[in-house]
Amino acid sequence: MTATENAIEARNTVKAFGQGTAAVRALDDVSVTIRKGEFFTLLGPSGCGKTTLLRLIAGFETPTSGQIWLDGQDITHLPPNKRPVNTVFQSYALFPHLTVAQNVGFALQMQGKPKAEVAQTAREMLALVKLEHLADRKITQMSGGQQQRVALARALAARPKVLLLDEPLSALDLKLRKEMQVELKRLQLETGITFVFVTHDQEEALTMSDRIGVMSNGKLQQIGSPRDIYTRPVNRFVASFIGETNFLPATLQGAAARLGSGDLVEVAGGEGRAGAVTVTVRPEQVRLVPPGEAGAMAATIRDWVYFGTDTHVHLTLADGAEVVARLQSNPTGEAGLSRGAPAGLRFAPGAAQVLGD
Amino acid sequence: MSISEDAAAARSVRNAWALSAPALILLTLAAAGPLLIVLVYSFLSPGKYGNVEWVFSLDGWRSVLYTKDIFDDSLQLADAHLTIFWRSVKLSLLTTGITFLVGFPTAWFIATRPPRARALWLFLITIPFWTNLLIRTFAINEVIRNEGLFNTVMIKLGLFSEPLRIINTDAAVLMGMTYVYLPLMVLPLFAAIDRFDMRLLEAGYDLYASRWQVLRRIILPIVKPGIIAGSILVFVPSLGAYVTPRVLGGGKQMMIGNFIELQFGQGRNWPLGAALSMSLLIVVMVALLVYVRAAGKEGHGHG
């Protein structure tokens, strides 16, 4: 591992707020490596420490212990204005007394760049976010979506080594948010800058990221690609925070697990473990088959909910454990479904996963 | 709009006038009235024992800037008047500057306290208003005069061999006015800083601004309305200050307010006093217009 391949390295960082016994650990021994040119997302519920980690990288906070490295250099105690890192704030924090172009040119101006270069870069950056025609507007005359773009252009103008984004899309309405997701991804690919993106929105994380770090209670629970995180969650928190899922108590028997209902299912992730575990399987990996089919689990249909593209069918196994199956909706009606009717269940091959604690 | 709505609108306008009538009448009588009297007096001749004689004369206005030579009636610039004018302007500007330099950190400190502590600090700022200005000024006099608290302590401690003469100097007047007008600077500054979005500070640091640049490029331009308001509130009454220069400046370090009083008292030249008052009013109005215009043009109004 050469240092130059890593944009950001957090080494055993701890951040405690308050003192003595009342101290709260917002970050509890977090270590993470973010590669150059990567779109890395910190995902977690509010209060999980993701924003604290971002603020440590930006330099607004100093870790209680541990280090932050940037591009092979220890920047733990460098003030924010000395770090080649810029932030897109959740509130945008645009300067209300400056025009759009002046906001975008601010960083370069502070670095003492010549006027012509500042103006030129501001123009380029505004073109990048498609706002060049509004360069002379006041910030207060811009809509939320436009302010968002200005904030992006402003943070990118000085070509930082790492761009930090603190829930930048949370104030936008759904349609605009979708547009900006595509826009952000495009900007990241065009500029090649490392993006560290903080969000509590799992869909946002899954669609945009190269890798995701899932956080909870000040700890990193799992780091991996969106597919890894979704299909191979390491624990109950990750499995339930990202997407919907079924949890079934089971007992490990070699490479298989015996569910509470007595059915035996093939599972992944059970290596080196034994005894009582929890098995998870995503609803879309549950197949409904005719009752009594060989190898299928016996189940009873309880209810179903129509969602448009798909229909969620709620079933119970022999022991009363509940399983949700997500089926593609039938255009002509819920053919074959009736409450209380018996049905057969199968899990798609490789879909069932044994969880850690 | 229907007829009944028209009538209702007309009635509400009438009601609004009726409700504001007491204040309007009071303002007219108490502000415009005396001002008019002063304006008229400035064009009359002085009476022998004060008061005025109803004879039109421009002597009052001429005497603002010129003195008539007693031998050949030639006009000469009244150096004494100009000195007093200049001292008034100089001391007022200095007072405004010092109250800003002292008041800004104070206002910042208060605005960044938790809400409860903030109320307490603001309360403390207003406490001096509870005591009469004259008494407070005499209290300062008591502290800084030659046999006063400060000099006595310093001499007893052996730090001074003789008392430091502060009283009856410009410095004493400046000290007194800074003390008296400081709250008038702090309060509008506080109001402006309180509205300031502190998250902009982080944005500034993040974008490579030093602490000085953050102050200069972000904080000051955004709280400028507060700075303008505070400066006006301090500068205008400073220019017309009467009690402070009288008590702390002695007879010699006169400011324009004392000089005007002199004309109505021992000077027995009411027209000159009236003309001086009007001159002061005009100077203040022009200064304010220029100041606000300049401040508004350079900045981009916020909030």
Element (H, E) at B39: helix B33-41
**Cα–Cα distance for residue pair A88/A162, rounded to 1 Å:** 11
**A259-280, pLDDT tens digit by residue?**
988 888 989 888 878 888 999 9
DSSP 3-state assignment of A223? strand
Taken in order of first residue, the domains within chain B and their CATH numbers are 3-41 (no CATH), 76-301 (1.10.3720.10)
Strands A342-347 vs A353-354: parallel, antiparallel or unpaired: unpaired
Q: In chain B, which residue's Cα lies nearest the Cα of A58?
A: B206
DSSP 3-state assignment of A294? coil
Span between the terminal Cα atoms of chain A, in Å: 31
Sign, CA torsion B52/B56/B57/B58: positive
The answer to whether the Cβ–Cβ distance between B302 and A97 falls below 8 Å is yes
Residue of A57, A97, A104, A150 to mutate, testing the B interface (most B Cβ within 10 Å of its Cβ): A97
Q: Determine the pLDDT at residue A10.
A: 94
Q: Is the ipTM of this complex over 0.90?
A: no
Q: Determine the pLDDT at residue B298.
A: 57
What's the residue count for chain B?
303
Dig out the tokens for A80 from the structure. 């924010």
Query: Which has more confidence, B182 or A333?
Result: B182
Angle at B188 between CA B184 and CA B189, to 5 degrees: 105
A49: left (phi over 0), alpha (psi -120 to 50) or beta: left
The answer to whether the Cβ–Cβ distance between B202 and A93 falls below 8 Å is yes
Q: Determine the pLDDT at residue B292.
A: 83
Q: In chain A, which residue's Cα lies nearest the Cα of B220?
A: A97
**Cα–Cα distance for residue pair A259/A213, rounded to 1 Å:** 31
pLDDT in tens, chain B (303 residues): 567 778 888 888 888 888 999 998 998 888 888 999 999 999 999 888 878 888 888 888 988 888 777 777 777 888 888 889 899 999 999 999 999 999 999 999 999 999 999 999 999 998 888 888 899 999 999 998 888 888 889 888 888 888 888 888 889 999 999 999 999 999 999 999 999 999 999 999 999 999 999 999 999 999 999 999 999 999 999 998 988 998 998 877 788 899 999 898 888 889 999 999 999 999 889 988 988 888 776 544 443
The whole-number average pLDDT for the span A315-329 is 91
Q: In chain A, which residue's Cα lies nearest the Cα of B203?
A: A93
- Amino acid at site A4: T
Do B68 and B77 meet the contact criterion of CB atoms below 8 Å apart?
A: no
The answer to whether the Cβ–Cβ distance between A97 and B221 falls below 8 Å is yes
Instruction: Output the furthest CA–CA distance in chain A (Å, rounded).
Output: 78
Residue of A61, A95, A100, A154 to mutate, testing the B interface (most B Cβ within 10 Å of its Cβ): A95
The whole-number average pLDDT for the span A210-224 is 95
User: For residue A106, which residues of chain B lie inside 8 Å, CB to CB?
Assistant: 207, 209, 217
Shortest distance, CA B197 to any CA of chain A (angstroms): 8
* pLDDT over threshold 80, residue A53: yes
Do A39 and A185 meet the contact criterion of CB atoms below 8 Å apart?
A: yes
The answer to whether the Cβ–Cβ distance between B200 and A95 falls below 8 Å is yes
Option in B197, B200, B205 nearest A79 (CB): B205
Q: Determine the pLDDT at residue B2.
A: 64
Shortest distance, CA A128 to any CA of chain B (angstroms): 19
**Cα–Cα distance for residue pair A320/A342, rounded to 1 Å:** 13
Residue of A130, A84, A123 lying closest to A107 (CA atoms): A84
Q: In chain B, which residue's Cα lies nearest the Cα of A99?
A: B300
Residue of B101, B107, B94 lying closest to B177 (CA atoms): B94
User: For residue A107, which residues of chain B lie inside 8 Å, CB to CB?
Assistant: 207-208
* pLDDT over threshold 60, residue A202: yes
* Phi, psi dihedrals of residue A168, rounded to the nearest 5°: -70, -20
**A241-259, pLDDT tens digit by residue?**
998 999 999 999 888 899 9
**A295-312, pLDDT tens digit by residue?**
889 999 999 998 888 999
Under DSSP, the state recorded for B198 is: T
The answer to whether the Cβ–Cβ distance between B202 and A80 falls below 8 Å is yes
Q: Determine the pLDDT at residue B300.
A: 46
CB of A62 less than 8 A from some CB of B? no
The answer to whether the Cβ–Cβ distance between A89 and B222 falls below 8 Å is no
* pLDDT over threshold 90, residue A170: no
* pLDDT grade for A126, boundaries at 50, 70 and 90: very high
**Cα–Cα distance for residue pair B258/B184, rounded to 1 Å:** 22
**Cα–Cα distance for residue pair A243/A281, rounded to 1 Å:** 11
Residue of B63, B65, B61, B66 lying closest to B38 (CA atoms): B61
* pLDDT over threshold 60, residue A2: no
Do A214 and A44 meet the contact criterion of CB atoms below 8 Å apart?
A: yes
Do A68 and A10 meet the contact criterion of CB atoms below 8 Å apart?
A: yes
Q: Determine the pLDDT at residue A294.
A: 84
Shortest distance, CA B199 to any CA of chain A (angstroms): 6
Under DSSP, the state recorded for A268 is: B
- Amino acid at site B94: L
Dig out the tokens for A233 from the structure. 């969650």
- Which chain B residues in 90-129 lie under 8 Å from chain A, judged by CB atoms? none
The answer to whether the Cβ–Cβ distance between A107 and B207 falls below 8 Å is yes
Beta bridge pairs of residue A14: A65
Span between the terminal Cα atoms of chain B, in Å: 35
**Cα–Cα distance for residue pair A288/B89, rounded to 1 Å:** 91
Q: Where do the H-state alpha helices sit in chain A?
A: 50-58, 100-110, 115-128, 144-156, 174-191, 202-208, 226-231, 236-241
Do A39 and A209 meet the contact criterion of CB atoms below 8 Å apart?
A: yes
The answer to whether the Cβ–Cβ distance between A97 and B207 falls below 8 Å is no
Sign, CA torsion B152/B154/B158/B163: negative
What are the residues whose beta carbons fall under 8 Å from the beta carbon of B165, sequence distance 6 or more? Answer: B146
Beta bridge pairs of residue A186: none
Going from the C-alpha of A188 to that of each of A38, A132, A180, A191, A207, the distances in angstroms are 9, 19, 12, 5, 14
Do B256 and B239 meet the contact criterion of CB atoms below 8 Å apart?
A: yes
